[in-house]
Amino acid sequence: MRCVNISGMMTALALLGSLLLSGCEQGPTLWQQESYVFGTRVQITTADAPESVARPVVSAALADLDRWHVRLHAWRDDSELTRINRALAEDQWTRTDPEVFALLRQAQQMSSAAEGLFNPAIGQLVALWGFHADSFAPVTPDPAALRRLIASAPDMSDVQLDGGQVRSHNRNVSFDLGGMAKGWALDRVAERLREAGIKSALINIGGNILALGSKGNEPWKVGLQAPRDNQAMAVIVLRDGEALGTSGDYQRYFELNGVRYCHLIDPRTGSAACQRQAATVLVESGLDAGLRSDVASKPLFFAPRTDTARLAARFDIRDVMLVETDGHTWLSPRMHQRVQWLQRPAKVDTLSGFPS
């Protein structure tokens, strides 16, 4: 008989709070290792392997995450992404390795699927708002500089990718992959674990979560954090291969003159004024489940509610939750069935346009 209680941590891009792995029943031995990458806490928990097997595999996965953190960092001088961005600013072709090249190709494809509401080409815009820093001041950008940058319309469609080389004739294109890197990494960590024979695990990269198998005879459960309350408002059971991701306004943000500004910047207008409290998606098992769970929450954060079902369908997603600025919560029909409320919001309604 044993009791386990493993807690997670909220991050800038997640509505996910504590991992609800508590229990006092006979069950599998849980092995967990933690790290801190992508500016957030990472936890990998296995449930079907002894420590002697799990430790080296998980350690290798965490080493991969450390490497990706350095290479994909949006403002570190020594990162591969910074080197590429310098070449883009000079309108020069630059070669990168196959791993980063493939990731940029996926960024272009995902941006197209999101109809530009996910746009990894707006790194200069993120920097202008001050979010390319570990700490930031409550200051809005110079209006003239903001207008000039928006007028230049940096977009992934401006990017040329050819034979391992990258270029953009729009010198204001600057990559920031923070809106997809965690989900992309989820898929790769899951692949490493599966190849090593680990079939039951929960991978939590800053609140972006992917489940493998189950926790013995019990499913993996995760908590959905209330955006304005440091407690879980609901629980969701995750099935094998499913991923959960959120874009929220409650971590990297500041308030100025009564307005909340967050790191989620509308690519169309350049505004960082928060559109919603949160948008959460649950992705069924399938190709790029982790990546889709990370990316798809961005267009749903920005888009009118009437466009939610159409945009979600572009990512093959049917389980969605939106929390509006006033706390009014909207769920797709299937998400209603998946959510187990702990603190039901005062107003809950059903999103239209989704299959039941």
pLDDT at 134: 82
Place of tokens 């049917």: 318
- Cα 97 to chain centroid distance, Å, stands at 24
Residue 201 · residue 36 · CB < 8 Å: no
Indicate yes or no: pTM above 0.85. yes
What's the number of CA atoms in the CB half-sphere (13 Å) around residue 198? 29
- Share of the chain residues as helix, strand and coil, in percent rounded to the nearest 5: 30, 25, 45
Residues with Cβ within 8 Å of residue 102, at least 6 apart in sequence: none
Q: Read out DSSP for 241-304? A: T-EEEEEESSSSEEEETTEEEES---TTT---B-S-SEEEEEE-SSTTHHHHHHHTHHHHHHS-
Residue 107 · residue 177 · CB < 8 Å: yes
pLDDT at 225: 87
pLDDT at 27: 62
Q: What is the mean pLDDT of each run of 10 residues along the chain (356 residues)?
A: 28 36 54 90 94 95 96 95 98 97 98 97 96 88 96 97 97 97 97 96 95 95 90 95 95 90 95 94 97 98 97 98 97 97 96 92
pLDDT at 223: 93
pLDDT at 137: 86
What's the number of CA atoms in the CB half-sphere (13 Å) around residue 193? 29
Question: CA separation (Å) from 28 to 2, 3, 50, 210, 227?
Answer: 10, 11, 10, 19, 32
Q: Which of 41, 6, 9 is nearest to 250 (CA)?
A: 9
